[in-house]
Amino acid sequence: MAPKIRLLPDVLINKIAAGEVIERPASVVKELVENALDAGATAVTVKISEGGLALIEVTDNGSGMTPDDLKLAICRHATSKIEKPEDLFNIHSFGFRGEALPSITSVSQCTIKSRIRGAASGYLLEISGGGLTEESETGCDHGTFISVRNLFFNTPARRKFLRSPSSEVRRVVEVVESLAVSNPQTEFVVDSDNQRLLDLSSASDKMERAKQLFGISLADKFVRGERSGDGLRLEVYLSKPEICRRNRSRVMILVNNRRIESRALFASLISAYGEFLTHGMYPQGVVFITIEPSLVDVNVHPAKAEVRFADERIIFHTLYHLVRESLLGGSALPGAFGLGQSRGSNGTIPSDRQATTRQSVRDFFGQSTSTAVQSEESLATIFGKPAADITDHTHSRLEEAVVRGASAPMEATVSPSTAQVTRKALGISGEVRFQQLALMYVVALTADSVFIIDQHAAHERILYETAMKSLAARTITSQQLLFPVAIHLEPDDFY
């Protein structure tokens, strides 16, 4: 019987690969600009029309290719960037798979012109749907020029799934911006239908480039921070909460200069903004992660949009704390966001709150002067009467107060049964006098000790114990909340 299995022809293999690597016009722009940067270009120009579907042109002033290299470049798995299996774990370039050019040329009509420095002329290739249609010497500047026309002309299904040209244009600009931020010295220009959308001159460093991208006039609305150690370096340029946006795509996370998508890192960043971020709003800015190449696997996603770290937790943790510190240290967070609610900016309690607390303490001790609270005398007044002297009459009065509830908090004590539980929990015997202080604490007085219990924390503990008991007994009842409650989780909680 004749074999049913056959090796596919290269043109078909390339088209299949293109299905993964080239999703939309922005993917073509990404691959071509990455090639330009790998070739050491200091100026890159991108021109598109009709959102990149009709035309994408990328010109660079990088190393260029010899005619022989150029002919190889459009073949599958032809690359100048890696050689041996070990190289895969020590990647220093954007490209390494040798599949971008064959993928692009298999789903479009392409012209490539390239010339190396010192060569008398350049070389030209015309490729349509993966087939070479023309090659010749040509006059051109040194560097490389690639024109991609009628993208997906031979894969109509892919063409149908694309968004509107304007949304494709936005993605193209985003792709160039993310490559520009990691290559500050390189100049970038993006034109769409003859309209200049991006024009970046050379910048001194990444932070300066980030400033160019997010607006030099907005620079004081951004915070910067950095941390390094153990083969890892994190730098951030992030907006203060006041200029956050509805769009989450304005946060770029770069690992060794490669923009990646990472839900976990994004979650870590958002959780660092925490309560300072209005629901549905996102910060903008850049997170630069520089890590020893051997500690990160960049070969895990068809479009290299994801990476895998040897130790993710340390990165999430460091990012969380760096962002938090940068925001707080730069006093990016106004007191109204909650931080300064109980204490003023210099760490003191605001005077109106002090007055309320003082009054409450005064009521508790039945004193008429506020200063008496802190004095030795007033302490003597409280503790002067030994607990053993507490009469049944006192107890019943206090119990009554509990029944009356919070309206008589200053005299409150607890019922005998609760007192028994508390006594057991505190490990005390004998008479105990319970009272409430400043509407916040339960004070338990025994003959020789004072226990101050944060009643809110104690209440939470009781609820926690009750919940744990019902969890163990599988008797949990649930009810949907009328208003959603935001729960703050630390990055570690995601694992």
Residues 6+ apart with CB under 8 A from 103: 14, 17, 18, 21, 22, 31
DSSP string, 81-142: S--SGGGGGS--SS--SS-HHHHHHHTSEEEEEEE-TT-SSEEEEEEETTEEEEEEEE---S
Assess 27 for contact with Mg ion (CB under 5 A). Answer: no
How far, rounded to the nearest angstrom, does the alpha carbon of residue 361 sit from its chain's CA centroid?
45
Q: Which amino acid is at 207?
A: M
Residue 435 interacting partner from ligand ATP, Mg ion, none (CB closer than 5 to 8 Å by kind): none
Neighbours of 166 (CB within 10 A): 9
Residues 266-305: x where in contact with ligand ATP by CB under 6 A, - otherwise, as a string: ----------------------------------------
Minimum Å gap between C-beta 467 and Mg ion is: 55
Residues 45-84: x where in contact with ligand ATP by CB under 6 A, - otherwise, as a string: ---------------x-xxxx-------x----xxxx---
Residue 168 interacting partner from Mg ion, ligand ATP, none (CB closer than 5 to 8 Å by kind): none
Assess 97 for contact with ligand ATP (CB under 6 A). Answer: yes
Q: Which residue is nearest to ligand ATP (CB)?
A: 95
Complex with ligand ATP: residue 81 or 221, whichever CB lies closer: 81
Q: Is 237 helix (H, G, I), strand (E, B) or coil?
A: strand
Residue 96 interacting partner from ligand ATP, Mg ion, none (CB closer than 5 to 8 Å by kind): ligand ATP
Sheet of 131-138, strands arranged across = 131-138, 122-128, 109-115, 143-149, 55-60, 43-49, 187-192, 195-200
- The binder of Mg ion chosen from 36, 70, 100, 179 (CB under 5 A): 100
Assess 101 for contact with ligand ATP (CB under 6 A). Answer: yes
Minimum Å gap between C-beta 15 and Mg ion is: 18
Q: CA-to-CA distance for 233 and 295, rounded, in angstroms?
A: 13
Q: Which stretch binds Mg ion (CB under 5 A): 28-36, 114-122, 434-442, 449-457?
A: 28-36
Complex with ligand ATP: residue 25 or 165, whichever CB lies closer: 25
Q: Is 201 helix (H, G, I), strand (E, B) or coil?
A: coil
Q: Which stretch binds ligand ATP (CB under 6 A): 35-43, 185-193, 376-384, 467-475?
A: 35-43
Contact present, 145 and 185 (Cβ < 8 Å): no
Q: Which of 135, 102, 81, 122 is nearest to 28 (CA)?
A: 102
Minimum Å gap between C-beta 38 and Mg ion is: 7
Residue 399 interacting partner from Mg ion, ligand ATP, none (CB closer than 5 to 8 Å by kind): none
